[in-house]
Structure 1
Amino acid sequence: MTRVGVDAHVLDGKFQGTRTWVLETLRRAPALAPDLAFVVYSGDPARTAAMLGDVEVEHRVLPPGGPVGRNLRFWPRAMREDRLDVLVTQYFSPPRHPDRQLVVVHDVLFETHPEFFGRGTRWRNKLLVGWSARRAGTVATVSEYSRSQIARVYGRRTEDVLLVHNGVEPPPPSSATLPPQVPAGTRYALMVGRLEPRKNLALALDAFARVEDPDVRLVVVGRDDFEDPATLARLAAEPRAVHLSDVPQDELWELYRHATVFLFPSRGEGWGIPVLEALAVGTPVVASDATAIPEAGGAACTYVDLAAPDAAAAFAAHLTDAFAGRLVLDADAARRHVEAFGWDRSADELVAALRRAVAPRETAAR
């Protein structure tokens, strides 16, 4: 049986797209591929097992430490001792056995939009991600946009960068209530994501300040992740804004459901999972047209050109229309788009990528 190792250290960390991708694909892929034995490495295997439910995988402890230590010391030993035929990592991969690696690079924004990253992070990623993407036997990503940029920047053929999309699973009806900071009946624009300059909270605040209705709110869900202190101060000082972090998943779905409009002004994404989540519960979306975001939203969203002379005014106009009931979601377009990007499809794509990763070795062994 082919043995597949999966680096799941992101399950121990902050909520972000890479964490969601690992969790949702791992919940499904083992059942789709009984010929593959999955070995999942995380810092807390008991907690990871609880997150995955009854999925049949082997669990291993992943020692604490950064990507350099994992790749130079831990992974070469684990690949040997656990007899791994292929190792799945995100962004960074070990130097040994490149032919046995599937590295998933969600985006290369540090290459295409370096202004969003600190100098140390930018150069570390240029070195380590670039090295991994050039050498790994198999490279995958989550969007056509990222696929084209990986091919362009690292010289791989576009067709050799496989797609394992992000996705969404529409939630069942919930008995959860909204957080107490958002009373029932409140009309609000919702913004979800880590607070960092790339997410463009400053523009969201500029736009919301132009909305004249005193009874509406801007609800921002996300933990500070190197956001500009001046922008955080503006958020705290805005009397109509509500800032939440570490919201339980069932409450987050309720926030999506009851939002008047979902706001996503990000300047760069490898995909944009929150856009798809908002569409999945029937909430209108106003988003930027940057990078891969139009792939995440499809034809169901309203887009704003960030390069326009006054993007804040354009966002404000759409917010005003939403609060006045003039911005209506095309429910059929949203449904078709959401149905095209279920996590079952993502798991299918992962299994296909894994089989492609091991095919040359299986052929050589015959």
Structure 2
Amino acid sequence: MTGRGGGPAGGRVGIDAHVLDGKFQGSRTWVLEILRRAPALAPDLTFVVYTGDPVAAAALLGPAPNVEHRLLPPQGAVARNLAFWPAAVRDDRLDVLVTQYFSPPRHPRRQLVVVHDVLFHTHPEFFDVRTRWRNRLLVGWSARRAGTVATVSDYSRREIARAYGRAEADVLLVRNGVDVSAATGTGTLPAAVPPGTRYALMVGRLEPRKNLRLALDALALVDDPDVRLVVVGRDDFEDPRTLARLAAEPRAVHLQDVPQDALWELYRRASVLAFPSLGEGWGIPVLEALAAGTPVVASDATAIPEAGGDVCSYVDPTAPGAAAALAARLREAFDGRLPFDAEAARRHVGRFTWDDSAVTFVTSTRVALERAGSHAG
């Protein structure tokens, strides 16, 4: 038996992978790591991957006999959903279309929409008015109508159910993960961070909800001229005043576009990962630091404790004494006194591998195929 496109019997699965062409963020990492693994787990399915550069995407993902690459023309989400995707479903004979956050108005039963978070709904203060209302309208519409909805954390699953009236049990989980083998390798530190430097590491886009401001406030309370705060990430509408403070702080190092092997080395050699974010659908850097054997001081907000479990130290980022509390944990980390059970961290991280994430993605895809009336095996 063959699928609608004449391929393997399990069906043809379209993947909106336009984030592979964009900025480094959690949704990009999720797509990349899933697509590196899922095709080998489901040889009966054909994965049709849409990106702005199919040649680069094929090189990034590696060869797979059941993957086809297609060009996704540059256009906004509205144009993609109103025009491109309905045509692609028809012309490429897709049984299921996997998108993130937004899905097209046609063929709702053939859609698997992945909503990583609904922070624009729960934490609207971190989004401009246009983004807030666009997402409320389009994500809400997609989450209510799509045949299958998935997300990356129990926290997001609860919030999606609360916001859009979808039963929690009907929102499938395809968690974020970590590549433990990569975390335990070797690499070279960036030149701006000499070996032997004691530093707290922050990883992520620079935007207000990531709470770089609090990290800088805490650093100012650490009375040690030799320690550093190493910030890895590009500006993503961060408050200009916070960016100016980062640039002016002599004990801060700001890095952008760090190669993956150098980033892992930064994780491994850090005294601590500081993750004071005010809102996350998960928190991939938390898992990555733990996999590298590095202690983590994180915010206790939203899904972050889900990522960190009971092996991280937590602070309340909204408490009046948040900067002092974070500074106290940083001092302990710099002095080697921060409580941290490396063996417990390894056990925790072992529950969240990208291999396991790919398995649950394939399972979710088969659910979507069944709901779409496909020949899912």
Q: Tell me the TM-score range normalised by the shorter chain.
A: over 0.9
Matching residue's letter, 1:247: V
Which residues of structure 2 form unaligned runs of 5+? 1-8
| Pair 1:205–1:359, CA change in 2 (3 A) | same
Distance across 1 between alignment mates of 2:35 and 2:374: 26
Residue number among 290, 293, 296 corresponding to 2:301 in the alignment: 290
**How many angstroms does 1:348 deviate by?**
0.7
**How many angstroms does 1:328 deviate by?**
3.8
Segments ≥4 residues shifted beyond 4 Å: 172-175
Residue number among 92, 108, 113 corresponding to 2:123 in the alignment: 113
Partner of 2:78: 68
Distance across 1 between alignment mates of 2:62 and 2:364: 24
The 8 Å contact of residues 27 and 55 in structure 1, kept in 2 or not, is answered as no
Distance across 2 between alignment mates of 1:282 and 1:42: 35
The alignment partner of 2:230 has SS state of strand
The alignment partner of 2:263 has SS state of helix
Partner of 1:6: 15
Partner of 1:126: 136
Matching residue's letter, 2:140: G
The alignment partner of 1:346 has SS state of helix
Partner of 1:45: 54
Residue number among 318, 337, 344 corresponding to 2:329 in the alignment: 318
The 8 Å contact of residues 29 and 347 in structure 1, kept in 2 or not, is answered as yes
**How many angstroms does 1:148 deviate by?**
0.1
Distance across 2 between alignment mates of 1:296 and 1:133: 24
Distance across 2 between alignment mates of 1:39 and 1:360: 19
The alignment partner of 1:92 has SS state of coil
Distance across 2 between alignment mates of 1:66 and 1:363: 29
Q: TM-score normalised to the size of structure 2?
A: 0.95
Aligned-residue CA RMSD in angstroms?
1.2
Partner of 1:86: 96
Percent identity (aligned): 75
Asked if 1:141 is matched to 2:151, the reply is yes
Partner of 2:273: 262
Distance across 1 between alignment mates of 2:30 and 2:107: 24
**How many angstroms does 1:305 deviate by?**
1.4
The within-5 A match list for 1:207-222 is 207-222=218-233
Question: How many aligned residue pairs are there?
Answer: 365
Asked if 1:332 is matched to 2:343, the reply is yes
Which residues of structure 1 form unaligned runs of 5+? none
The alignment partner of 1:255 has SS state of helix
**How many angstroms does 1:308 deviate by?**
2.3
| Pair 1:259–1:152, CA change in 2 (3 A) | same
The alignment partner of 1:340 has SS state of coil
**How many angstroms does 1:19 deviate by?**
0.3
Partner of 1:187: 198
Q: TM-score normalised to the size of structure 1?
A: 0.98
Matching residue's letter, 2:118: V
Distance across 2 between alignment mates of 1:193 and 1:21: 14
The alignment partner of 1:306 has SS state of coil
Distance across 2 between alignment mates of 1:246 and 1:81: 37
The 8 Å contact of residues 282 and 329 in structure 1, kept in 2 or not, is answered as no
Partner of 1:17: 26
**How many angstroms does 1:363 deviate by?**
7.5
Residue number among 13, 28, 35 corresponding to 2:44 in the alignment: 35
**How many angstroms does 1:173 deviate by?**
5.2
Partner of 2:235: 224
- Deviation digits for residues 245-275 of structure 1 (CA, Å, limit 9, x no counterpart): 1111111101001001100000000000000
Matching residue's letter, 2:97: L
Asked if 1:154 is matched to 2:170, the reply is no
Distance across 1 between alignment mates of 2:30 and 2:183: 20
